[in-house]
């Protein structure tokens, strides 16, 4: 006969807010029977749906889906977990679960976040590392890290505040190369559709490897690495503008108009058609709060350049610059 288990412990496990004693108790319970494994996976799916839904008025309805006919009270702490950027795609590799020993299966369980244009999110990983993922990015990380390394995968842009662990280095794998750290704060931009890779280091030390490098590059604090078309440079960081997006700001210095419009497209989920070719060589410097919207952003930079803008009447997400 299966003993009952506190579902709050399950949710604490999913969010990695659990003590070692509680985690061991949960693993022992899961291993008792196939029935318990089914309950675990059912609650995992419910948790995923909660993460994807930030409207607290719908939480009770979602909970009821797991056990029809019963009203389930959603713990207050779950609502705190849900205070992240809305509309993210969270895909969990549950197919690997329970194929091997329970701990190995937990290591194989991976989470994948895919963010569309206009969205960003911050996460806390199982080791305490904090990650801010920017728009149009894909970030993959394990539910639990192994003992030898902590490896994550990034296609896009993110800022990392890594918890130190000399026995298990933290590795960010991208399509352009890898960044290996022990404990530090740094920013990475490495979209697979771009030939550019950039790393800005603010604290600690990182080691960069990749096909464009004959040997690893070691960055010291306040250093910026950038590679393009198999060539790379290392320079001093004069400001932290590269990471200001995680605080809700678009910061730009001597940025060409075309590049700035690409940035706006990423943050505001719009398509910008530039019909005024005289703007191509114009550069801009400033800061804009993302939440103020695209119209405000264009009005701000229009103070230093002569142009007009208009939304397409049929496709509201297309903006023409004249």
| Residue 204 and residue 131 share a domain | yes
* Separation of alpha carbons 211 and 42, rounded Å: 43
Q: What is the dihedral of CA 254, 258, 260, 262, to 10 degrees?
A: -150
Query: Among the listed ranges 41-45, 119-123, 217-221, 302-306, which one has the minimum average pLDDT value?
Result: 41-45
Query: Among the listed ranges 33-37, 171-175, 230-234, which one has the minimum average pLDDT value?
Result: 33-37
Of residues 203 and 28, which shows the higher confidence score?
203
The β-bridge relationship of strands 170-173 and 150-161 is parallel
Q: Domain count for the chain, please give it.
A: 3
The domain boundary, picked from 60, 83, 106, lies at: 83
Q: Which two tokens stand for residue 13?
A: 């496990």
Identify the domain containing residue 23 by its residue range.
Answer: 1-83
- Give the model's pLDDT for residue 111: 81
Of residues 1 and 9, which shows the higher confidence score?
9
| Residue 168 and residue 61 share a domain | no
Q: At what angle do helices 257-268 and 294-302 cross, to 10 degrees?
A: 160
| Residue 257 and residue 207 share a domain | no
> Is pLDDT at 120 greater than 50 in this prediction?
yes
| Residue 89 and residue 178 share a domain | yes
| Residue 38 and residue 97 share a domain | no
| Residue 28 and residue 3 share a domain | yes
* Separation of alpha carbons 269 and 191, rounded Å: 17
| Residue 259 and residue 238 share a domain | no
CATH of the domain at 310: 3.55.50.30
- Give the model's pLDDT for residue 117: 84
Tokens 């410097």 sit on residue: 285
The domain boundary, picked from 208, 230, 246, lies at: 246
The domain boundary, picked from 17, 51, 83, lies at: 83
> Is pLDDT at 68 greater than 60 in this prediction?
no
| Residue 241 and residue 219 share a domain | yes
pTM of full prediction above 0.75? no
Asked if 242 contacts 287 with a C-beta cutoff of 8 angstroms, the reply is: no
* Separation of alpha carbons 141 and 227, rounded Å: 25
For residue 124, give Cα distances in angstroms to 24, 133, 144: 21, 11, 12
The tens digit of pLDDT for each residue in 161-180 reads 998 888 899 999 998 889 99
| Residue 93 and residue 236 share a domain | yes
What mean pLDDT do residues 117-145 have? 87
CATH of the domain at 193: 2.60.120.1440
| Residue 142 and residue 72 share a domain | no
| Residue 242 and residue 259 share a domain | no
| Residue 65 and residue 26 share a domain | yes
> Is pLDDT at 154 greater than 90 in this prediction?
yes
Asked if 120 contacts 157 with a C-beta cutoff of 8 angstroms, the reply is: no
């Amino acid at each position: 006969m299966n003993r009952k288990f506190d579902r709050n412990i399950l949710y604490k496990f999913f969010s990695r807010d659990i003590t070692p004693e509680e985690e061991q108790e949960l693993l022992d319970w899961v291993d008792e029977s196939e029935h318990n494994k089914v309950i675990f996976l059912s609650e995992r799916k419910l948790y995923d749906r909660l993460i994807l839904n930030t409207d607290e008025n719908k939480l009770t309805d979602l909970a009821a889906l797991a056990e029809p006919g019963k009203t389930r009270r959603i713990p207050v702490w779950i609502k705190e977990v849900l205070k992240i950027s809305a509309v993210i795609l969270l895909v969990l590799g549950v197919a690997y679960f329970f194929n091997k020993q329970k701990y190995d299966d937990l290591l194989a369980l991976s989470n994948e976040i895919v963010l569309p244009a206009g969205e960003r999110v911050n996460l806390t990983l199982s080791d305490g590392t904090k990650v801010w993922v920017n728009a149009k990015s894909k970030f993959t990380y394990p539910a639990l890290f192994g003992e030898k390394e902590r490896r994550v995968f990034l296609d896009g842009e993110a800022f990392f505040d890594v918890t130190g662990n000399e026995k298990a280095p933290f590795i960010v794998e991208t399509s352009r190369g890898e960044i290996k750290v022990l404990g530090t704060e740094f920013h990475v931009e490495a979209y697979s559709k771009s030939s550019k890779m950039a790393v800005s280091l603010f604290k600690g030390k990182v080691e960069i490897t990749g096909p464009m490098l004959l040997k690893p590059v070691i960055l010291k604090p306040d250093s910026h690495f950038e590679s393009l078309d198999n060539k790379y440079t290392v320079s001093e960081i004069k400001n932290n503008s590269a990471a200001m997006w995680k605080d809700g700001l678009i910061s730009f210095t001597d940025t060409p108009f075309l590049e700035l419009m690409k940035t706006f497209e990423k943050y505001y989920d719009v398509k910008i058609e530039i019909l005024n070719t005289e703007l191509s060589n114009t550069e801009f410097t400033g800061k804009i709060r993302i939440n103020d919207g695209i119209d405000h952003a264009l009005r701000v930079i229009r103070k230093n350049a002569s142009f007009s803008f208009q939304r397409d009447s049929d496709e509201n997400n297309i903006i023409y610059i004249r």
